[in-house]
Every structure is written in structure tokens, then in C-alpha cells.
Amino acid sequence: MAQNEMHISFSGLSQNEGFARMVAGSFAMQLNPTIEELSDIRTAVSEAVTNAIIHGYENKPGTVYMDCYLNDNEFTAVIRDEGSGIEDISLARQPFYTSKPELERSGMGFTVMEAFMDTLEVASEPGKGTVVTLKKKIGQDQSQ
């Protein structure tokens, strides 16, 4: 049982990307993150939500679900879509790999999520959708 949790769903529209990362960041504020930690969370959430919109729903109408949890000093965000899913998750997670080079995607979304968070889990089923779980302990990095 999480000590605190928050659940939202929103239309898979690009104008909600900024909204989603702002909401996740605001919720994480309760753990007193540093500016860097907060920026890491906002960036990782933005990547996951953008993936749901571009790759999950391929810009067709759909709903993105975001569940955030605070447990002690750990922030968790679970971002879920009911879109097309990922055929090969390990390929999708490779740096610079993109299934949509025509859209000028950098292929760095999962790499950024991995680098900015402590853990990244991706579960997906073609035709059913994708669930991305991001976790980060706040106050761990003494260098910041």
C-alpha cells in the first residue's frame, strides 16, 4: 500500500505532455527533490507520455493513464496506454533505435528514462498496449 498516490487519465494529445510532466513533478515535490531530481522526473515522464501518444496511439484518439506513488523516499510513475503495443521491447530500448525515423525521432526516449530514473520497466503486448514503470529514490544522489 502506497503512502500516497495519485491517478489521472487524459486524452493522448501532444498538448497534454507538458501537463502530465508538470502534474507528476508537482506530486513528487512532497519528497523535497533537488532541482535536478525534479527535472529528471519531469523529463522521464515526458518521454513515457510522448511514447504513449506517438507510438501507442499513433496520434489517433486514446486515453493515457498515469498513476503516481510515493513510498518513503521513492517516487513511482506508471504510464499506461491501450494502444498498439511494442513487438520487440529490447529492440525498442536500444539507444537510437526508432520505429518512426520519418518523424525525425531521436530514438533516445527509453535511454533518457533509464538514465534519469533508478529503474525502468516496460511491459507490452501487441494490440493491447504498453505499461512503463519509472522509479526514483529522492535524496540519494549526494553529488547534487
Site for other proteins in 8-37 (CB under 8 A): 14-15, 17-18, 21, 36
Q: For other proteins, how many residues bind (rule: CB under 8 A)?
A: 25
Catalytic residue list contains 105? yes
Binding status of residue 104 toward other proteins by CB under 8 A: yes
Q: How far is the CB of 19 from other proteins (least distance, A)?
A: 10
| b (16+ CB within 10 A) / e for 67-104 | bbbbeeebbbbbbbbbbbbbeeeeebbeeebbbeeeee
Query: What is the closest distance, in whole angstroms, from the C-beta atom of residue 109 to other proteins in the complex?
Result: 5
User: At its nearest, how many Å lie between other proteins and the CB of residue 12?
Assistant: 11
Tell me: does residue 106 bind other proteins (CB under 8 A). Answer: yes
Q: Is 42 known to be catalytic? A: no
Distance CA 141, CA 112 (A): 17
Per CB under 8 A, the list member of 23, 24, 27, 50 interacting with other proteins is 50
Any contact of residue 89 with other proteins (CB under 8 A)? Answer: no
Single out the residue of 23, 31, 42, 75 in contact with other proteins (rule: CB under 8 A): 42
Torsion, CA 81, CA 68, CA 24, CA 61, rounded to 10: 20
Catalytic option among 21, 37, 42, 51: 51
Backbone angles phi, psi at 44, to 5 degrees: -65, -40
Strand 129-137's sheet: what is its strand order? 4-11, 63-71, 74-81, 129-137, 119-125
Residue of 29, 65, 25 whose CA lies nearest to 41: 25
Query: Which residues are catalytic, by number?
Result: 47, 51, 105
